[in-house]
Amino acid sequence: MVRRARWLFVLHLLVPGSVQLLAGSRRFARVGIIGTIASWVLLLLAGIIALLDRNILVWLGTNTIVMTAFSIYLALWAVIYLVLSIDSLRLLKLLSLPIRARRAFLALMLAVTLAGTGSLAYSSNLGLAQSSLVNDIFKQHGTLQPIKGRYNILLLGGDAGSDRFGLRPDSISVLSIDANTGATVNIGIPRNMQHVKFGKDSPMTTVYPNGWNCGVECLINAIYKDTMDNHQDLYPNAIKQGSDPGVEATKDAVQWVTGLQIQAYVLVDMAGFKNLINALGGIEINVNERLPIGGGVDIYG
């Protein structure tokens, strides 16, 4: 009986459902074995895709429909695994085992059940959270293909707030990522850069044929607000594509500055930045003394 219990435990550990096939309900065993084979096939396919083209695997991992479906699959498999484990524990016939073996197999089965069910449930919850996060943050959908071996992503930090008028991206940078190695270069662009242009294909050239060039009022961070206030009609499809005219005009200027073609963007305003910090656990700032805001500094020798 101890040898039988040992083999049944090993079979349940390697192929959930095989215990029921040998000593229980074959109809129920079929569900467990099909689920196990399906999981192995998914893992094998993921490995093959990773070897052939990691871009496809990244797309699958960030596609909200795929992630939601996979999370539901993991949740169902967690329930099935829990039921299979409980039934396998019954089929071990613990009462027929010596007291020491009975305790050992009971502890092992409980440990395996908790580890398997818990990891599946946690992975399902993590997948749903990831899908929701991607859907909420990244409004641009579809796949990205590298251009000349690189992904170029525009990062914009806007100053919009409840006490502010309009939005200006005071933080402008481009992440240029090597598609093969993942090595990343961060290209920072000063918000007060002047005399920028938009490139030949940009709609902004119809309004500013000589570029964004009018002195201190024409800083690169002011392109966004100017476009949103006066020239939204130049980018009629921007909203449908998950962007907006201000971002597209700023992107055209940044492409002229860097010589890189931008494939995607991220725009975070003051409220979004606050929510991002809070989502990561928040920070506490201790201000030990009053500090002047906007005032001068007197230096005494």
* Interior/surface letters 21-49, b for 16+ CB within 10 angstroms, e for the rest: bebbeeebbebbbebbeeeeeeeeeeeeb
Residue 295, exposed/middle/buried by CB under 10 A (0-12, 13-18, 19+)?
exposed
Structural tokens at position 38: 């399906």
Mean pLDDT of 138-151: 76
Residue 281 backbone class (left: φ over 0; alpha: ψ -120 to 50; beta: rest): left
Instruction: Compute the radius of gyration of the chain from its Cα atoms.
Output: 29
Mean pLDDT of 192-213: 91
* pLDDT value for 250: 95
Mean pLDDT of 232-249: 90
* pLDDT value for 139: 59
* pLDDT value for 243: 87
Question: For residue 286, is pLDDT > 60?
Answer: yes
Please write the tens of the pLDDT for every residue from 52-86: 887 787 777 777 788 888 889 889 988 988 988 88
Angstrom distance (rounded) from CA 159 to CA 170 = 7
254 or 96: which leads in pLDDT: 254
Quote the mean pLDDT of the chain.
84
* pLDDT value for 125: 86
Q: Which of 14-18, 71-75, 250-254, 293-297 has the lowest mean pLDDT?
A: 293-297
Considering the chain, what percentage of its residues have pLDDT values greater than 90? 26
Mean pLDDT of 159-175: 81
Q: pLDDT-derived band of residue 156, with 50, 70 and 90 as boundaries? A: very high
pTM listed for this prediction? 0.55
* pLDDT value for 143: 67
Q: pLDDT-derived band of residue 219, with 50, 70 and 90 as boundaries? A: very high
Please write the tens of the pLDDT for every residue from 2-35: 888 888 888 888 888 888 888 777 787 888 888 8
Question: For residue 301, is pLDDT > 80?
Answer: no
Q: pLDDT-derived band of residue 257, with 50, 70 and 90 as boundaries? A: very high
Angstrom distance (rounded) from CA 75 to CA 122 = 9
Mean pLDDT of 288-296: 74
* pLDDT value for 163: 65
* pLDDT value for 161: 66
* pLDDT value for 116: 87
Q: How far apart, in Å, are the Cα atoms of 109 and each of 10, 16, 50, 112, 235?
A: 10, 12, 34, 5, 62
Question: For residue 289, is pLDDT > 60?
Answer: yes
Q: pLDDT-derived band of residue 136, with 50, 70 and 90 as boundaries? A: low
What lies within 8 Å, CB to CB, of 295 at 6+ separation is none
Q: pLDDT-derived band of residue 214, with 50, 70 and 90 as boundaries? A: confident
- Return the bridge partners of 150, or none: 147, 178
